[in-house]
Structure 1
């Protein structure tokens, strides 16, 4: 079989299979790719030859047309440039499906006849691939920068946690308070209807809630940076329950004073450490923003409706967060006549645009799933960007929906149980050191703590160069184990 589009043949009229094999011979790489894209391969005569040439790679087709769907089975993965839902760009679908490791180690080639027949689609496709790879590069850069810090945070968490608890699911309506400027419009209503919902505050929203005498049922934090501790490092919250990712930065007094729900990623090293010391935990999903982590976790807490307050996901011309804000309080102390508040706020506005776009696209990409019972809630706030299929509601809608359920008393509270006394610090030190040493010999440890090194080793074709990279990596691991050993014993 062969085919054409507007008079341009997409395959040879005589022997398209040989044509596909010849094309595969021209596909060259100076490294071992983890993923390879072919842009609109039409009837896919090149697929088998490319699979044989790159047996360790995920071989993907990117379609410009649905006319060739019958040959999709010849590829490991198939993506379509124009999805049914145009609010989700191809770049986001590629990132969500493949992740940063595969995208960073990927190659892409156009099937030449399709490039001639679909010039506009080809240009758009290359732009989407570029966006996906640049995002993957940024995410991998963040992982490489913070990975050692996350490991140390996990060891500190496992060494110090005293009062772990587990949440038991209910069906109360649940509100997540983020700290975007729109939160300000909801503060009077959060206070007015406080008895009608379960309230989770992301860490940066805790201070404005407490300032307005609004009690959060739970505070969630997942950021591993030292600055994240400032949002929860103040007095007056000894009775608060904290849901804390074990990789996050936590003030030590919270370990002493508060009940904690330990959150772990299913593939994370922190899970192994908590298993080793017999500490209970709940699973969470890896996310670039704490609001995304909170939304995923909220689905494990309630069967009721979930509302998002203060989730603007857009830069603001004024403060980026509802005030008071712990970081703003600290930064304002350095304001001067030459470097004043307005200059700092403007700089923050423009520097946040790229990260907010990444976070916003995550909500949009996953909005079809979340839209079933998730809404943004405000006092008729005009958002700059919609979040895909996630609806926008005001407090009148909330009153009509949720107060009726409350009056009929058909709700079940979210409760906490399982506060468990775990082994002493002295016993933990030995167990954690042994667990760390054992894990350090695994590929999981290398990929989590040294992600860039792991990728470079996988990509390398030369045996000698690969050996040099592996020797350098072993030196890094030995140095890190010494640092972590001192941390555990200290």
Structure 2
């Protein structure tokens, strides 16, 4: 149905879609004002997403009532793109279906990580545009839920992330970078399906070269079957994450990127690790060559640039599975094959075996709590874990336009049916990614931590982006971007190290 503009009784235009009026037929301005007065916007909300407001009579009232909030308008149709009567120019950004990017990309681009968002629905549009409106509503709600989950994680781990970042930079011995290749990449998560596909991975490596990028939690299962990944990935900020990395720090492998002359006199090194700067890494991982991942925050970027540490910038997506896919897309232009990214358990199996946290069950087993009982309880927790569904929904969107490049190894994936399942990998190119180590000078760790703290404080005081840095660090320390001044941030960050607020 093609919308039409018709005059209201007081003269302002209203919009008609079929037999459905989008605005009042008598006084659209008064209707919009009453609508805005009835809104209950959370005080900590920074972004207001208005879903198909028609001509947008409500936008100026929202702007006046909530002057400190960004207004994003989402349209269900392109009709209003060139309608002069629309109030879209009062919004900060407007999205139309036939724009250059899809809706989720638009939201990720326009809404900074850690920002609270609120969806405002213009109900007459829901009736007029039906399923079209509902599809957009689903995407926005999925985005808001995912960001809310990320914010909750940040509020719980923020202080630890700051401390992890400083300590990881101080310990870093072998920063890594790469030149992208074109060969197939196999991405492994630690889901139960990995056990079924390990024979297929092993067979693939006998037939030709492939780059294996493994979630750190899947590394023990791969090493058990004598499969050494090209790169593992760790993003978790919790102390338990280091148990997944114990075997990696013991397995050595000389990089093919080194010539024999360069390799002479050098220690043989473990296979490399791609790690978020704020991940938890214990001291035994310091020798592992590391591809540093920055989350794009100003404070992380400033430190990395000042230290001249190579890094790759990726958004925080809340799950290591998404980060591995991002890395795979950067490492190769060839096809990507996934396995172990189940987003679900299988009966009582929550992970492929062996698993770095198996000892957790062993320690708790007794005659009142046998192993099967503990595993069943864990499976129930995973089955009701909302984040799994949130991230599965995100992957459904992410994979939807990449079906010619991303495949599933083994049987059809129950959550991602759009991806083709294969049992053999095909090669169109044999050029592997090249990894390069840029060794750093070793020194006293405490002195290096102190130097990094001083550098961070200096940037917080003198950088042109110091206000953005203040908000980022305030949010990590308190969960509120406006809670702390620069001097209070400096004191709290110093206390993290001098008073041992966070152990590890």
TM-score between the two structures when normalised by the length of structure 1:
0.79
Matched, 1:255 2:286: yes
Matches within 5 A, 1:158-237: 158-194=169-205, 195-234=208-247, 236-237=250-251
Number of equivalenced pairs: 456
CA displacement, residues 321-376 of structure 1 (integer Å, 9 cap, x when unaligned): 11000112332221122222222222222322322112212212222454341112
Instruction: Report the 3-state secondary structure (helix = DSSP H, G, I; strand = E; otherwise coil) of the residue aligned with 1:193.
Output: helix
Q: What's 2:328 paired with?
A: 298
Task: Check the 8 A contact 1:93/1:365 in 2, yes or no.
Answer: no
Partner Cα distance (2:183, 2:132) in 1: 47
1:361 to 379, 393, 412: 393
Partner Cα distance (2:282, 2:480) in 1: 36
Q: What's 1:435 paired with?
A: 455
Q: What's 1:466 paired with?
A: none
Partner Cα distance (1:371, 1:272) in 2: 37
Partner Cα distance (1:337, 1:49) in 2: 66
Matched, 1:57 2:57: no
Instruction: Report the 3-state secondary structure (helix = DSSP H, G, I; strand = E; otherwise coil) of the residue aligned with 2:390.
Output: helix
Relative distance call for 1:226 and 1:96 in structure 2 (3 A) is farther
CA displacement, residues 245-303 of structure 1 (integer Å, 9 cap, x when unaligned): 221111312213x3222222222633333333333333333221112111101122112
Following superposition, the deviation at residue 444 of structure 1 comes to 3.7
Matched, 1:411 2:434: no
Instruction: Report the 3-state secondary structure (helix = DSSP H, G, I; strand = E; otherwise coil) of the residue aligned with 2:341.
Output: coil
Task: Check the 8 A contact 1:172/1:305 in 2, yes or no.
Answer: yes
Task: Check the 8 A contact 2:188/2:214 in 1, yes or no.
Answer: yes
Partner Cα distance (1:284, 1:132) in 2: 17
Partner Cα distance (1:30, 1:325) in 2: 42
Q: Which has the higher helix share?
A: 1
Matched, 1:394 2:405: no
Relative distance call for 1:59 and 1:285 in structure 2 (3 A) is closer
Structure 1: runs of 5 or more not aligned:
459-468
Instruction: Report the 3-state secondary structure (helix = DSSP H, G, I; strand = E; otherwise coil) of the residue aligned with 1:383.
Output: coil
Matched, 1:331 2:345: no
Partner Cα distance (2:95, 2:370) in 1: 49
Relative distance call for 1:241 and 1:36 in structure 2 (3 A) is closer
Relative distance call for 1:114 and 1:168 in structure 2 (3 A) is closer
Task: Check the 8 A contact 2:165/2:277 in 1, yes or no.
Answer: yes
Partner Cα distance (1:308, 1:60) in 2: 35
Q: What's 2:407 paired with?
A: 375
Relative distance call for 1:238 and 1:485 in structure 2 (3 A) is farther
Relative distance call for 1:32 and 1:474 in structure 2 (3 A) is same
Task: Check the 8 A contact 1:233/1:251 in 2, yes or no.
Answer: no
Relative distance call for 1:324 and 1:100 in structure 2 (3 A) is same
Following superposition, the deviation at residue 68 of structure 1 comes to 4.9
1:44 to 33, 56, 69: 56
Structure 2: runs of 5 or more not aligned:
1-12, 254-270
CA displacement, residues 211-231 of structure 1 (integer Å, 9 cap, x when unaligned): 111121221111111111001
Q: What's 1:421 paired with?
A: 440
TM-score between the two structures when normalised by the length of structure 2:
0.77
Q: What's 1:140 paired with?
A: 151
Relative distance call for 1:383 and 1:116 in structure 2 (3 A) is closer
Instruction: Report the 3-state secondary structure (helix = DSSP H, G, I; strand = E; otherwise coil) of the residue aligned with 1:230.
Output: helix
Partner Cα distance (1:224, 1:72) in 2: 44
Partner Cα distance (2:126, 2:331) in 1: 49
Q: What's 1:317 paired with?
A: 347
Matched, 1:242 2:273: yes
Task: Check the 8 A contact 1:306/1:373 in 2, yes or no.
Answer: yes
